[in-house]
A and B are shown apart, each in its own frame.
Chain A
Amino acid sequence: MQSKNRTINLFYVPALVLFAFFVVYPFVKGIYLSMTNWNGYSRSFKIIGLANYKNLFADKNVRRAFVNTLIYGAGSTVIQNILGILLAVFLNQKFRGRGFVRTVIYLPVMIAPLIMGYIMYFFFNYSRGALNDILKILSLAPVDWLADGNRSVWILTLVNSLQFVGISMVIYLAGLQNIPGMYYEAAAIDGINSSQKFFCITLPLLMPAITSAVTLNLIGGLKLYDVIIALTGGGPGYDTNSLSTLIYRYYFGGERAGYASAIGLVMFVFIMIVSNIVVRGLQKRQVEL
């Protein structure tokens, strides 16, 4: 019986082999490469110890990408969750056409973020952009939206948030539908107003949904890549790079494979720590309820 039981563990061997070869092995090899000055194709390279790590903390492009990655992650999470809850509460009311509105909000989730980035180019373009056309009608001066790095970072955050807010909305709609109506009835007898209703009943009972949505949005935002490539290419200069796009640029554009490897590992550790702290923190709050 016991041996029979153990043989079923063989079922996950194919999956583990793939993980070993395409996740664990690259990870370990990445640690090794990060201590070399490899350029990405040459056969000879030297082991240079921790020099890459020392350099990367002094590299202002890395610092910039690091801050941007945090903004992409935290900014997208905040925007998507606030907007997601608002949309879900709004679309949880009964009115004609709400199914259609939900569909429209979720539709962009299906589109490749890369394509969404290119479409956004037609909105933020200076000379012919759709947004500047609106400004023109309002007789306001056109804005060169993507010329400023700081603004572009927030534009990218907003584009990513609006594209994927449908996911949060759907999670919150499911969460709202799981709240038993009797809580609201009891509260109505006690005579609470609608903001109390939202903050004292709806929000606490949505905690599991909040955990799911925050986790998804945070991981998605911290990994942001495609839309940056499409809309700004990391520019102007190095101003809108995330760690992901910077690694790509240093590796394929700058032939600094060892260095890019070191950035990758720092990014890996950083994202693991941030996501774990956030997820743990949220789960604790759930238990306390």
Chain B
Amino acid sequence: MRKANPVLRVIAIVAILAVFLAPFWILTTISFKPSTDTSSYWLFSSTPTMNNIKAAIEKAGIFGAIGRTAFITVCVVVLEVIVSAFAAYPLARRNTKFNKVVQAFILGIMMVPPLSILVSLYSIIVSIHGVNQYWAVILVLLTYQLPQGIFLYANFIRSIPVALDEAATIDGCGPGRTFFLVIMPQLKPVTATVAILSSVNCWNDFQFSRYILQTSRMNTVTLSISSFFSQTYIDLSTATACALIAILPVVICFLILQKYFIQGMIDSSVK
């Protein structure tokens, strides 16, 4: 193997780090810059201030938005784990033609761009009085997260020996008890994957929340940040401080659970 040039390598590393860390650096410098400080965004202010952070917490109520987003995320993830694990079991175990059709249908939904059916989906949500209701955004997010969950669970269940199910059946378990007593206890690792992937998606969602949650008192993280940036009088520093606070939980979770995030990504991509 040819030895890579160490100098070139260092240059490459520095360039990569510069490009990928720059957004985070700029976000930080602006969040701590007083509004009177007109120095370059690249420079950390010589007179840093906490006012933007304070405004983000007190005026913009970013913690409230984080709380609402967390609530929606937890509801979606819990429901998704239950519904998709159940749905995956027959698809993994009963290879009838009909079930193959069902599975192809579910995989197809993964490709559907949700905005292509925006008009009718929104009109349906209006007709069931779902606008400005948490349950509506939870159900819609859940629906569009489900295919990935079902896919991951079905793949995982296929790797569990069928002999275990058969043994349970001989011992007199019905499909329900087989699922609860034999299959479920083994699903821990894949459940972590499903939960991690869909929490990121829910936490970062904008396209669904934007039209289902229209009142500002229900703003999620992305909604409150976007309302800040799109106001006519733009208080950019407060908006950036909101963004900084909002990404912290995700960044911290990622740094701690990195291994699971990346393994989950790989599991979900291999088709």
Contacts and interface: CB of A to CB of B under 8 A. Distances in A.
Interface of A: 4-5, 7-12, 14-16, 18-19, 21-23, 25-27, 29-30, 33, 40, 87, 90, 93, 95, 97, 101, 103-116, 118-123, 128-130, 133, 162, 167, 170-171, 174, 184, 188, 194, 208, 211-213, 215-216, 219, 222-223, 225-226, 229-230, 243-244, 247-248, 251-252, 257-258, 260-261, 264-265, 267-268, 271-272, 275
Nearest 4 A-B pairs (CB), nearest first?
A: A112-B204, A12-B87, A15-B87, A8-B175
Contacts of B110: 219
B150 interface: yes
Interface of B: 1-2, 4, 9, 12-13, 16-17, 19-24, 26-27, 30, 38, 40-42, 83-84, 86-91, 93-94, 99, 102, 105-106, 108-124, 139-140, 142-144, 146, 150, 169, 174-175, 179, 200, 203-207, 211, 221-222, 225-226, 229, 239-240, 243, 246-247, 250-251, 253-255, 258, 261-262, 265-266, 269-271
Given A12-B102, A112-B206, A122-B41, A106 B262 contact: yes
14 contacts: A4-B175, A11-B89, A40-B119, A87-B16, A107-B20, A112-B222, A115-B247, A130-B22, A167-B269, A215-B271, A219-B110, A244-B115, A252-B211, A275-B111
A81 B266 CA distance: 15
Given A123-B23, A213-B269, 9 more contacts: A4-B174, A15-B87, A22-B139, A104-B21, A110-B200, A110-B247, A112-B222, A118-B239, A247-B119
A14 B200 contact: no
B172 to A, nearest CB: 11
Given A18-B139, A105-B16, A257-B119, A12 B221 contact: no
A226 B113 CA distance: 13
B90 A12 contact: yes
A247 B266 CA distance: 32
Contacts of B124: 21-22, 25-26, 29
A180 to B, nearest CB: 15
B175 A7 contact: yes
A208 to B, nearest CB: 7
Nearest to B201: A112
Mostly helix, strand, loop or mixed at chain B's interface?
helix
Most B C-beta atoms less than 10 A away, residue of A11, A104, A222: A11
Contact of A243 (B106, B116, B251): B116
A29 B250 contact: no
A174 B240 CA distance: 35
The interface residues of chain A, by DSSP majority, are classed as helix
Contacts of A30: 116-117, 119-120
A23 B143 contact: yes
Nearest to B200: A110
Nearest to A266: B116
A130 B262 contact: no
B107 to A, nearest CB: 10
A115 B120 contact: no
A279 B91 CA distance: 22
A195 to B, nearest CB: 11
A11 B87 contact: yes
A13 to B, nearest CB: 8
A170 B265 contact: yes
B95 to A, nearest CB: 11
Contacts of B2: 194
A120 B221 CA distance: 18
A226 B207 contact: yes
Given A12-B102, A27-B117, A107-B251, A212 B269 contact: yes
A101 B175 contact: no
B12 A225 contact: no
A113 B226 CA distance: 11
A104 B239 CA distance: 24
B27 A119 contact: yes
A223 B113 CA distance: 6
A15 B106 contact: yes
A104 B83 CA distance: 34
Nearest to A259: B119
A264 B123 contact: no
A22 B20 contact: no
Contact of A15 (B40, B84, B250): B84
B118 A260 contact: yes
Contacts of B253: 110
A219 B112 CA distance: 9
A107 B254 contact: yes
A33 B20 contact: no
Contact of B93 (A8, A188, A216): A8
